Each structure stands twice: as C-alpha cells, then as structure tokens.
Amino acid sequence: MDNRKREGMNIEEREFADLDELVGSIEETIRKEEREIYTERTLAEAYNPKNVGELDNPDGTARVTGPCGDTVQIHLQVEDGRIVDSKFITDGCGASAACGSVVTELIRGKTIEEAIEVGDRDVLSILGGLPEENIHCALLAVNTLKAALEDYKNINKKEGE
Ligand code: FES
C-alpha cells in the first residue's frame, strides 16, 4: 500500500488494511496453486458454474452420493423427448461444480437416448482433464445424470400405463 495513504489512517484502519493485504496475498497463493493443479476451463467452470439450482416441476430428478461422501442433484425438464433445461446442485468440491456445470450444458437440446451416451470421458475431455483424485467427481456428475434420466423414463412409463 502507498505510504502516504497509510499515514492518513488511524490504527484501526491500518489494521484493516493490513488484514486486507494478507487476505489478498493468501487468495493469490491459493489461485496460483489451483492453476498448477486444474486447467483454466475447470477453474472457470468451478468459480462460475452454469445451471446451478433446482427446477420447480422437474420431469426427472436424481440425487446421488459418491464414495467421497459428496452429493450431486440433477433436475431435468423434458419437452417432446428433448432436454430443454436442467439444473444441478452439489455440496461437493469445486471439481464437482465444474462437472455439474459441464454435464448440464452438454445435455441441453439432446434427446434422452443421446443424453444417456454422455460419459465421464466427455466431461473430462471438455475440462481438459482432472487430477487423479478428482476423476470420481466427473463420474459422480455423470452417474447422477443417468439416474435422473432413469427417473424420467420410469415416470413416463407409469404415466403411459
Ligand atoms: Fe467429492 Fe469431488 S465430488 S471430492
């Protein structure tokens, strides 16, 4: 911080300014470490995930807990056999938010049959890969999608009976 600005402050203001600087430098260190581990695309999706939330009247839903103990929920809205909207929430890591974001974007406009074909490899390829310890996060998002598609099919089957 510029010394003249600092001189015009009282003790309390200086302490806040010091704390601000410390927090800024810690955040910068964390970002730098994250950039060494995750791709730019993963960080962009994790910090600004798309389609976060829930739908009011979903046509298919699923909530799946992975081996790490984290849970992903996906809601689907289907019109004329195509996915027109989907939302997700996760209580998991940043990678799970990135994967939920990519999965919900990937299936938009797809038919149910096309969406079933979406796999963790597609998610990993879009993200440019994930560290070994986060591969299961992509699988969790995809398994939740498959469970939501299954739920949609079951509801539809019942309604058709
Ligand atoms: Fe649990 Fe990523 S979803 S560690």
Same domain? For 104 and 32 the reply is no
Does ligand 1 come within 6 angstroms of the Cβ of 135?
Answer: no
For ligand 1, atom 4: residue with the closest CA = 93
Q: Are residues 71 and 142 in the same domain?
A: yes
Instruction: Read off the tokens for 128.
Output: 């440019």
Ligand 1 near 43 CB (within 6 A): no
137 among known catalytic residues: yes
Q: Which uninterrupted H or E stretch holds 136? A: helix 135-160
Residues 23 and 80 in one domain: no
So what's the pLDDT on residue 2?
Answer: 72
14 in the same domain as 68: no
Tokens, residue 82: 């195509």
Beta bridge partners of 28: none
What is the atom index within ligand 1 of the atom nearest the CA of 133? 4
Residue among 17, 44, 52, 68 flagged as catalytic: 68
Q: Which tokens go with 119?
A: 């796999």
Model-level pTM? 0.84
20 lies in which domain range? 3-37
pLDDT attached to residue 5: 79
Ramachandran region, residue 76 (left: φ > 0; alpha: ψ -120 to 50; beta: rest): beta
75 alpha carbon to ligand 1 midpoint, in Å? 19
Q: Where are the alpha helices (DSSP H) in 107-134?
A: 112-116, 120-127
Overall domain count for the chain? 2
Testing ligand 1's pocket by substitution, the residue of 73, 101, 135, 137 carrying the most ligand atoms inside 8 A of its CB is 137
Structure tokens at 154: 């079951």
64 with 112, same domain: the answer is yes
| CATH code assigned at 85 | 3.90.1010.10
Does 30 share its domain with 109? no
Q: Do 62 and 80 belong together in one domain?
A: yes
- The verdict on 22 and 81 lying in the same domain is no
92 within ligand 1 shell (Cβ under 6 A): yes
Q: Digits of tens for pLDDT over the chain (161 positions)?
A: 677 777 888 888 888 888 999 999 988 888 888 888 999 999 999 999 999 999 999 999 999 999 999 999 999 999 999 999 999 999 999 999 999 999 999 999 999 999 999 999 999 999 999 999 999 999 999 999 999 999 999 998 877 76
95 lines ligand 1 (CB under 6 A): yes
Concerning whether 68 is annotated as a catalytic residue, the answer is yes
Q: Which one-letter amino acid corresponds to residue 104?
A: T
Q: Are 27 and 54 part of one and the same domain?
A: no
Whether residue 114 sits in one domain with residue 58: yes
83's CB contacts (< 8 A; 6+ apart) are: 76, 77, 107, 108, 109, 110, 111, 112, 115
Do 59 and 33 share a structural domain? no
96 lines ligand 1 (CB under 6 A): yes
Whether residue 33 is found in the same domain as residue 85: no
Residues forming beta bridges with residue 61, ordered by sequence position: 75
